[in-house]
Amino acid sequence: FVQRSDLISTRFSSTAFTRSSLQMQANSPPPYPVRIAVMGGGNFGLALSSISARKGFPTTILVREQEIADSINTNHTHPRYMRDVKFPPTLRATTNPQDCLPDATYIVHAVPVQYSRKFLNSVKDYIPPGTPVLSGSKGIETSSLGFMADILKETLGEERPYAFLSGPSFAREICEGVATAVVIASEDLLLARDLATLLSDGNFRVFTSRDVIGVEIGGAVKNVIALAAGMCEGLGLGTNAMSGLVTRGCGEMRRLGLTLGARPSTIAGLSGVGDTFGTCFGPLSRNRQFGYRLGKGETMEEILASSSEVAEGVDTSIALVNFIKQNCKGYRLDLKYPILFGVADILQGKLTPLDGLKGIMNMPFLMENFDER
Ligand SMILES: NC(=O)C1=CN([C@@H]2O[C@H](COP(=O)(O)OP(=O)(O)OC[C@H]3O[C@@H](n4cnc5c(N)ncnc54)[C@H](O)[C@@H]3O)[C@@H](O)[C@H]2O)C=CC1
Ligand SMILES: O=C(CO)COP(=O)(O)O
């Protein structure tokens, strides 16, 4: 049995290493045995497990109900999510963490952010030290104001290698094999590259990055902008309003990102502006749909009561405003982040979507470029 780390050091220490050899390696299967375990049996866990199962890696998804595990194992369908999608027959499902976590080469995490800490504490004893974890969840925990990187380190340990996948990647399109491009960020670039090699195929392209905070900020903020975009649509506003809103929303993402040390190219990239476009303009977004219903006049309670899927932006919006107040210095932060603060006020019932729009249109006049003095 060859260890992943041994192979990595041999592969990447070679002085004869060239771009074309990297290209060759990027398309070959990894030269060590791989087993993937996916935690989180929602839409995105299903999508990520489909990618690795269709590449031929033994993949097991950990779900919470036996009925769901049975349906995936026997019919290759999920009884509630994407019911018309047939998952690869090689994808296995289990409700028992002991069946899939201890011997996994890589573990993928796709549990919604607000449930992640409790879930991770319940399975941490099954996860050996050193097993890398790739997270696909996007948002900020309301109780701690932490991103997934913080939650993972606090529950599964600081020393473990972590990576973060983000970008415009609707679960349904991934399952249908429609072309998708994402980024995987990790402080350990070799891990990001290994995961990119592992998951990429003709329809799923993974770019790599070291900018974990940049990728996580994009994933959290874009869902809040999508709520605003949905409201804009629900209020019956036009293309001018939508384009202005999304552009200014990306400006707020950039301002926050730069304050926290993110790279501008990450904010402009797949996990930032790219995912914002996908979520604000794509018909599949739950966050956009949630905002649309608010814009049409439904209440939070009505929408939550009739939703079976998670719109991460709702909790993240409140967390984000508290996070900004805690981490950003300055006077009148609400004027620096009017869309992010406005959405949080609407979700908390302090403003209607129409009031929020009026508030933004009547703001004091500002320069467009906040990095210009
Ligand atoms: N669905 C998508 O297209 C994409 C989702 N994501 C992210 O992936 C993460 C997971 O989202 P989805 O799979 O879409 O969610 P989902 O709404 O499809 O499924 C919810 C999941 O949460 C689990 N869950 C509910 N209550 C729980 C609890 N108390 N404890 C533990 N688990 C619980 C359910 O079993 C299910 O696995 C989110 O952070 C989302 O932003 C990222 C990219 C695309
Ligand atoms: O993150 C996503 C696509 O990249 C999914 O967005 P929604 O959670 O709004 O559906």
The per-residue pLDDT for range 274-301, each reduced to its tens digit, is 999 999 999 999 999 999 999 999 999 9
The string of pLDDT tens digits covering residues 219-249 is 999 999 999 999 999 999 999 999 999 999 9
CA distance 167 to 197: 17
Confidence of residue 33 (pLDDT cuts 50, 70, 90): confident
- Residue 1 pLDDT greater than 60, yes or no: no
Kindly give the distance from the C-alpha atom of residue 242 to the centroid of ligand 1, in angstroms, as a whole number: 27
Sheet strand arrangement including 36-39: 92-94, 59-62, 36-39, 106-109, 133-135, 162-166, 180-185, 204-209
| Domain range summary for the chain, segments of one domain joined by + | 4-210, 219-361
- pTM equals 0.92
Kindly give the distance from the C-alpha atom of residue 361 to the centroid of ligand 1, in angstroms, as a whole number: 35
Q: What percentage of the chain's residues is helix, strand, coil (to nearest 5)?
A: 55, 10, 35
- CA atoms 363, 367, 369, 373: torsion sign: negative
- Residue 27 pLDDT greater than 60, yes or no: no
Q: 4-210 belongs to which homologous superfamily? A: NAD(P)-binding Rossmann-like Domain (3.40.50.720)
The string of pLDDT tens digits covering residues 319-334 is 999 999 999 998 899 9
Residues with CB under 6 A from ligand 1: 40-45, 64, 81, 110-113, 115, 119, 136-139, 169-171, 309-310, 312
* Ligand nearest to the CA of residue 110, numbered in listed order: 1
Confidence of residue 318 (pLDDT cuts 50, 70, 90): very high
Residue 154 near residue 184 (C-beta atoms within 8 A):
no
Q: Is the CB of 138 under 6 A from ligand 2?
A: yes
- CA atoms 353, 355, 361, 363: torsion sign: negative
| ipTM (interface pTM) | 0.98
Whether domain 219-361 has CATH 1.10.10.10: no
Residue 34 near residue 106 (C-beta atoms within 8 A):
yes
Confidence of residue 207 (pLDDT cuts 50, 70, 90): very high
- Residue 42 pLDDT greater than 50, yes or no: yes
Of 117, 119, 136, give the one whose Cα is nearest residue 43.
Answer: 136
What's the mean pLDDT in 25-44? 83
Q: Is the CB of 44 under 6 A from ligand 2?
A: no
Annotated binding site: 40-45, 138, 171, 286-287
